[in-house]
């Protein structure tokens, strides 16, 4: 917010400088006002037309736009390049205004102003040169509360701990049109910071694939063919084939060439190499999450063993192909292994964590014992259990009976499978309705998909995450015990209630005729760590090294939630994805990445319930407080100057 106010002051300063120059160009006040308005309008909207111009010219217009630099400051980053631009634009406006006013006061002829004009051109040229040099030599100051634009501790530790060289190759097409040109600058700046933090262990290079073309490749690009539909295409060059095999794919962007709007293949990918291994980021359309992506991939390349996450199967759980986004996200950092025990009473010893997602059928006694012994041996387990499986497309309900409750009871955890939580703070569903001859989509609130605005507690799993959906969730309760630490991660709002089976899950349900008593909030997701006891402790155990444990060795880590649908593709938004990765990182004791991933996920919101008066005072105070303060300051300063002028006149 402070940076936003500073950006507004700098923007106003530049506009005042341009407005004074425009006003000085004419003796007529109306004409002077129009000149000033046109100048301000031009510098504000100039980048909006950059996409229609050649790439090199579009990049220049984007840089001279005051809106482009204001966006950088408003996000909370003070960059010397942005500050220098506003200073230069304001100084140029004041300098040109001073020269015009000096000429008017001295009433000199055109020939006699050669020296002031030369001086003005020299100063403005120096300001332009200073901005060009500032593109390479710059400094950034991050004012965001989460330091969202500063290298995190996890990144610095990862780079400082490199034992061998890491090479990053960025394949970016040169002279990209706006707004892709700024992405290239951001990537280069970030890699510069990575190289500095690595103490020379990390190096990078930027390559323009088009610059690597041979004469044969250039000739091949001109050899256009047509398919049976009349569409033009060409055979890929050798370099394009090699990049495609590496995983770098070209993307089509719109450019203006030869006075025509055309589509152009551009590259915006990154390859990270360490020894003989490599990882690829195919496209960097939005660099906001690039630091996390680079850090996690570097950690993945440089570690000696990839952690294994077992995904329990065999009980009608969602198959990995129905969890495409989950599988793709976890596979970037971990090995996801579908596991069916099939009579075994133990998991493979190389399994590092277990993920139980939405089983429908009961687990067999040997499977319950295998999960229990995994917990007793200190291996982390996360259970996301459903009371009902609801198909959003067919509206079919299937009850879920897993037998896992007898295991959870021993750990002091209860999942209320008989009730489902509904919440006023919920997502909307689009339902089709016939309106005359038309079928329209109508958004309706659906209380059985609660949205948790802010996760609970100071756990690294939940800190900084909000707007997470918990579809068809059951409440979870935990009984505290000796040696056991319990944290609630997610809780419904006070305007929530529970409905017993069988629930009416029809999206067209008329809530106007319903009488609902709010009984919330309810816990939806909990974290349990510490010493846990096995439910099989009283049974006769086999003696020897393979005997089952009756109490956890070391610290056990357990996460339980009353729904698994939050990780299915239909509900898998960015907040849910951040929660999933935080869960797995916490389970596998990799907390360094947790804080970095959640930076910028949630907007800064006012805390707590505010009265209408307080909310309006905050809203209008932020909107009009600073302008009114500046106007008052200007009024006081003006009156003081008038008072001094009268005193001198007397």
Which of 198-212, 249-263, 303-317, 381-395 has the least mean pLDDT? 249-263
Mean pLDDT of 4-22: 91
Taking phi first (over 0 means left), then psi (-120 to 50 degrees means alpha), and beta for anything else, what does residue 358 get? left
Over the chain, what is the mean pLDDT?
81
Q: What whole-number percentage of the chain has pLDDT above 70?
A: 84
Distance CA 241, CA 249 (A): 10
Residue 244 structure tokens: 């495609």
Burial class (CB in 10 A: 0-12, 13-18, 19+), 452: buried
pLDDT: is 610 or 318 the higher one?
Answer: 318
**DSSP state string for 466-503:** --EE-TT---EEE---TTEEEEEEEE--SSEEEEESSP
- Could you read off the pLDDT of 123-138 as tens digits, one per residue? 888 888 888 888 777 7
Distance CA 175, CA 116 (A): 37
636 pLDDT higher than 90: yes
CB 83 within 8 A of CB 66: no
User: Exposure pattern of 571-604 as b/e (b: 16+ CB <10 Å)?
Assistant: bbeebbbbbbbbbbbbbbebebbbbbbbbbbbee
| Distance separating the N- and C-terminal Cα atoms of the chain | 46
Q: For 550, list phi and psi in degrees, rounded to 5.
A: -95, -10
> Which CATH number is 308-597's, of 3.30.9.10, 3.40.50.880, 3.40.50.2300, 3.20.20.70?
3.40.50.880
Token pair 């996301």 is at which residue? 384
Residue 619's pLDDT is 81
- Could you read off the pLDDT of 179-224 as tens digits, one per residue? 676 777 788 888 888 888 888 899 998 888 877 777 776 776 666 6
Distance CA 228, CA 233 (A): 11
Residue 138's pLDDT is 77
114 pLDDT higher than 50: no
319, 321, 325, 327 alpha-carbon torsion, rounded to 10° = 70
Residue 544's pLDDT is 46
525 pLDDT higher than 90: yes
Q: What angle do CA 213, 219, 223 make, to 5 degrees?
A: 125
Residue 152's pLDDT is 79
67, 575, 330, 399 alpha-carbon torsion, rounded to 10° = -150
Which of 90-94, 247-251, 617-621, 630-634 has the least mean pLDDT? 247-251
Half-sphere exposure of 319 (CA within 13 A, CB side): 2
Mean pLDDT of 228-237: 68
3-class secondary structure for 571-633? HCCHHHHHHHHHHHHHHCCCHHHHHHHCCCCCCCCCCCCCCHHHHHHHHHHHHHHHHHHHHHH
569 pLDDT higher than 50: yes
Stated pTM of the model: 0.63
- Could you read off the pLDDT of 146-181 as tens digits, one per residue? 676 778 777 888 888 888 899 999 888 876 766 676
153-281: which CATH topology?
Glutaredoxin (3.40.30)
pLDDT winner (highest mean) among 35-39, 387-391, 442-446, 570-574: 35-39
Q: Which of 303, 308, 287 is nearest to 354 (CA)?
A: 308
Confidence of residue 591 (pLDDT cuts 50, 70, 90): low
Burial class (CB in 10 A: 0-12, 13-18, 19+), 623: exposed
557 pLDDT higher than 50: yes
Mean pLDDT of 417-441: 82
CB 43 within 8 A of CB 28: no
Q: What whole-number percentage of the chain has pLDDT above 90?
A: 15
Q: Which of 599, 269, 572, 286 is nearest to 449 (CA)?
A: 572
Mean pLDDT of 550-571: 85
Distance CA 38, CA 62 (A): 18
258 pLDDT higher than 70: no
Mean pLDDT of 71-88: 87
88 pLDDT higher than 90: yes
Distance CA 372, CA 366 (A): 10
Distance CA 528, CA 366 (A): 23
Distance CA 65, CA 47 (A): 6
Sequence ranges of the domains in the chain:
2-142, 153-281, 308-597, 606-650
């Amino acid at each position: 917010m402070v940076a936003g106010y500073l950006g507004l002051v700098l923007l106003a300063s530049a506009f005042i400088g341009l407005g004074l120059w425009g006003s000085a160009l004419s003796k007529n006040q109306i004409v002077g006002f129009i000149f000033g308005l046109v100048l301000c309008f031009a510098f504000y909207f100039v980048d909006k037309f950059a996409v229609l111009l050649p790439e090199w010219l579009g990049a220049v217009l984007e840089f001279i736009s005051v809106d482009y630099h204001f966006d950088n400051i408003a996000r909370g980053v003070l960059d010397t390049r942005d500050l220098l631009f506003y200073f230069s634009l304001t100084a140029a406006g004041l300098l040109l205004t001073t020269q015009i006013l000096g000429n008017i006061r001295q009433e000199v002829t055109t020939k006699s102003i050669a020296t002031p004009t030369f001086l003005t051109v020299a100063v403005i040229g120096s300001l332009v040169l200073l901005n060009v040099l500032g593109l390479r030599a710059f400094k950034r100051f991050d004012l965001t509360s989460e330091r969202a634009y500063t290298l995190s501790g996890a990144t610095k530790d990862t780079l400082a701990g490199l034992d061998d060289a890491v090479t990053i190759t960025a394949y970016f097409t040169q002279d990209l049109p706006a707004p892709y040109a700024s992405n290239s600058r951001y990537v280069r700046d970030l890699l510069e910071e990575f190289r500095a933090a690595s103490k020379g262990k990390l190096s990078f290079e930027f390559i323009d694939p088009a610059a690597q073309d041979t004469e044969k490749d250039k000739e091949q690009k001109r050899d256009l063919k047509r398919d049976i539909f009349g569409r033009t295409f060409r055979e890929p060059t050798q370099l394009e084939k090699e990049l495609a095999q590496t995983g770098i794919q070209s993307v089509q962007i719109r450019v203006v060439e030869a006075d025509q709007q055309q589509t152009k293949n551009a590259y915006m990918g990154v390859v990270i190499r360490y020894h003989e291994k490599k990882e690829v980021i195919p496209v960097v359309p939005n660099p906001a999450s690039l630091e996390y992506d680079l850090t996690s991939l570097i950690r993945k390349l440089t570690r000696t063993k990839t952690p294994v996450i077992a995904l329990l199967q065999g009980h009608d759980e969602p198959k990995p192909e129905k969890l495409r986004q989950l599988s793709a996200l976890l596979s970037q950092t971990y090995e996801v292994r579908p596991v069916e025990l099939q009579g075994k009473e133990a998991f493979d010893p190389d399994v590092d964590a277990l993920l139980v997602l939405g089983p429908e059928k009961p687990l067999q006694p040997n499977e319950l014992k295998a999960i229990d012994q995994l917990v007793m041996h200190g291996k982390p387990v996360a259970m996301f259990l459903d009371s009902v499986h609801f198909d959003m497309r067919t509206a079919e309900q299937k009850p879920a009976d897993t037998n896992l409750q007898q295991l959870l009871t021993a750990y002091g955890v209860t999942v209320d499978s008989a009730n489902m939580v509904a919440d006023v703070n919920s997502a909307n569903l689009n339902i089709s309705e016939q309106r005359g001859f038309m079928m329209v989509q109508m958004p309706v609130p659906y209380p059985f998909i609660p949205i948790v605005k802010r996760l609970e507690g100071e756990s690294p799993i939940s800190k900084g995450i909000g707007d997470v959906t918990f579809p068809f969730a059951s409440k979870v309760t935990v009984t505290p015990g000796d040696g056991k630490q319990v944290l609630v991660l997610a809780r419904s709002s006070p305007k929530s209630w529970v409905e017993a089976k069988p629930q009416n899950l029809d999206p067209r349900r008329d809530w106007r005729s319903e009488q609902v008593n709010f009984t919330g909030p309810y816990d939806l997701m909990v974290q349990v760590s510490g010493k846990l006891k096995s439910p099989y402790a009283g049974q006769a155990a086999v003696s020897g090294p393979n005997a089952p444990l009756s109490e956890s060795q070391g610290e056990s880590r357990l996460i339980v939630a009353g729904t698994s649908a939050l990780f299915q593709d239909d509900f898998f938004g960015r907040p849910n994805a951040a929660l999933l990765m935080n869960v797995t990182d916490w389970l596998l004791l990799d907390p360094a990445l947790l804080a970095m991933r959640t930076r910028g996920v949630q907007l800064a919101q006012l805390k707590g319930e505010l009265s209408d008066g307080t909310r309006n005072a905050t809203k209008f105070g932020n909107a009009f407080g600073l302008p009114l303060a500046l106007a008052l300051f200007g009024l006081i300063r003006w009156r003081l100057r008038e008072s001094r002028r009268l005193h001198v006149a007397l």
